[in-house]
Amino acid sequence: MVKTYDLQALLAQLEQQLRSYIQEHQLDNPVLVGIHTSGVWLAQELYQRLGLPEIPGQLDVSFYRDDLQLSGLPKIKQPSRMPIQIDDRNILLVDDILYSGRTVRAAMNELFDYGRPKTITLVVLVSRGGRELPIEAQVCALHEEPGLDKVYVIEGPEPLHMTLVDRTA
């Protein structure tokens, strides 16, 4: 079984929530940073929609993960790119799916190699259950726990689309 999502509607919801969050928390001069791969695509989309002045940064957290001994070295590594200064900045950290929290922890570790942000706001498309670390998104378009046998698949970047796939099928 495959379930297809209206990704444009979810992105519109994410944009609206993020605008409200930025205004409510008075985040001056925020900058987007996406986590490879889908988080980078989403950060680019939000960058266009929000009209922010600086292009998003990109993180590949492969070497910052705490499960390298289990999964081994990554076959493909995207370069991290941080074309912006992050010291004392309000970082909008963007990822696709928040699940265990380990990818976000790795991303925060890498961010601190680039400087010391003022704040980090986690922005995700989908927040599901299964946390192994005490990490939660401040901005999220969809809270959904489809079950352990289901996985979200985001393909893109042009066009972006998301499906939920049953791994047992």
Region for 88 from its dihedrals, namely left if φ exceeds 0, alpha if ψ lies in -120 to 50, beta otherwise: left
pLDDT of 1 reads 76
Region for 29 from its dihedrals, namely left if φ exceeds 0, alpha if ψ lies in -120 to 50, beta otherwise: left
The angle formed by the CA atoms of residues 54, 57 and 58, to the nearest 5 degrees, is: 155
Query: Residue for token digits 């990822």?
Result: 95
Token pair in block for residue 130: 């299964």
pLDDT of 70 reads 58
Can you tell me the mean pLDDT for 16-32?
97
pLDDT of 48 reads 97
pLDDT of 131 reads 95
pLDDT tens digit sequence for 110-159: 999 999 999 999 999 999 999 999 999 999 999 999 999 999 999 998 89
Q: What is the mean pLDDT of the chain?
A: 93
pLDDT of 23 reads 98
Domains, the chain: 2-66+78-166 (3.40.50.2020)
pLDDT tens digit sequence for 87-112: 999 999 999 999 999 999 999 999 99
Query: Residue for token digits 């922005």?
Result: 123
The angle formed by the CA atoms of residues 133, 134 and 136, to the nearest 5 degrees, is: 110
Residue 71 has pLDDT above 80, yes or no: no
In this prediction the pTM is: 0.94
Residue 132 and residue 102 in contact, taking contact as beta carbons nearer than 8 Å: yes
Query: Residue for token digits 């493909």?
Result: 76
pLDDT of 160 reads 93
